[in-house]
Amino acid sequence: MYFGSVSIILGATDEDEVLYETVDALMQYCDRKDIDKIIIVKAKDVSEGTEKAILKAKEKYAGYIEDFFQELPYVGGAVQDALKRVKSTHVMLFASDMAISLECAPVLIEGAKKNPDIIYKVSRWMRKDSFHNYSKSRKVLNKAAQHCLKFMYGAKVSDFTNPVQIAPAKLYRSINWKELGFSFLFEMVIVPLRLGCKFVEIPGNCYGRQIGKSKNSSLQTAKYLLTAFRVRFTPKNRLMKKETELQ
């Protein structure tokens, strides 16, 4: 395995100008020779403001931006659609609304360049005061979930529910993904863990969404628990695609 370049996946719904600011920051923070494409997956109901932001990004960064409408439903389907278009050696999923500090992006890439087989991910729990605009109850529940998952999976990962990470594209293509909703983002972390992939975490700040409306819900969050048990007790060979599916 080697690092050739990375494709950065962003979702687009109603982020408007913030989406452009996200793309602009990624292009400024990262070394452009490391980026193959920024792949923007548009929801069927993408806002007019977000479409304008994408056009603005494409005009400024011609050749780097690829956008298309998702075919599979929900956020998990959007990411899976994007994975089919990836031509780079590595993939990095990032938040489109600046929910995670963008300064983390080049750090993740540098990690992958040094150790291309390892998954580098952002953790919100590696240092104090990483959460901004989060209620105390939300942080307490998240922390409790992390402890439960650490026990269930026997892993030293401190942030199981944050999917901002860089990984080999070949790994993602080999996984038999099952989720389509928000629990897919959780699946992106726990399936590689079950398969024995090594993770290295870096600290990062996170911010409660200020622009647009989150599509997550209490029901979607509850589905994380079902996904956690399913993945934990599914035989490893069934977490991978069959050879015929990889062709």
Element (H, E) at 182: none
CA–CA dist 96, 39 (Å, integer)? 11
The pLDDT confidence band at residue 204, using thresholds 50, 70 and 90, is very high
CA–CA dist 122, 124 (Å, integer)? 7
Q: What DSSP state is assigned to residue 90?
A: E
CA–CA dist 112, 90 (Å, integer)? 8
- Average model confidence (pLDDT) across the chain: 92
The per-residue pLDDT for range 145-181, each reduced to its tens digit, is 999 999 999 999 999 999 999 999 999 999 999 999 9
Buried b (16+ CB within 10 A) or exposed e, 167-186: bbbebbeebebbbbbbbbbb
Domain interval for residue 105? 6-246
The per-residue pLDDT for range 12-40, each reduced to its tens digit, is 999 999 999 999 999 999 999 999 999 99
| Residue 1 lies inside a defined structural domain of this protein | no
Contact 145, 160 (CB under 8 A): yes
The per-residue pLDDT for 56 is 98
For residue 212, pLDDT over 90 is answered with: no
Q: How many domains, in total, are found in the chain?
A: 1
The per-residue pLDDT for 223 is 84
Q: What DSSP state is assigned to residue 159?
A: -
| Residue 49 lies inside a defined structural domain of this protein | yes
Report in angstroms the alpha-carbon separations of 134 from 63, 119, 141, 144, 159.
37, 27, 11, 15, 16
The per-residue pLDDT for range 69-86, each reduced to its tens digit, is 999 999 999 999 999 999
Q: Can you list the pairs that 191-197 forms with residues at least 24 positions away whose Cβ atoms lie under 8 Å?
A: 191/231, 191/239, 192/119, 192/167, 193/153, 193/155, 193/157, 193/160, 194/153, 194/231, 194/232, 194/234, 194/236, 194/239, 195/236, 195/239, 195/240, 196/236, 197/118, 197/119, 197/167, 197/171
As given in the structure block, the two tokens for residue 33 are 């020779």
| Residue 120 lies inside a defined structural domain of this protein | yes
The per-residue pLDDT for range 129-142, each reduced to its tens digit, is 898 888 888 899 89
pTM: 0.92
- Span of 89-93, 102-106, 129-133 with lowest mean pLDDT: 129-133
The torsion defined by the Cα of 227, 232, 234 and 238, in degrees rounded to 10, comes to 90
Q: Residue 218 maps to which CATH number?
A: 3.90.550.10
| Residue 66 lies inside a defined structural domain of this protein | yes
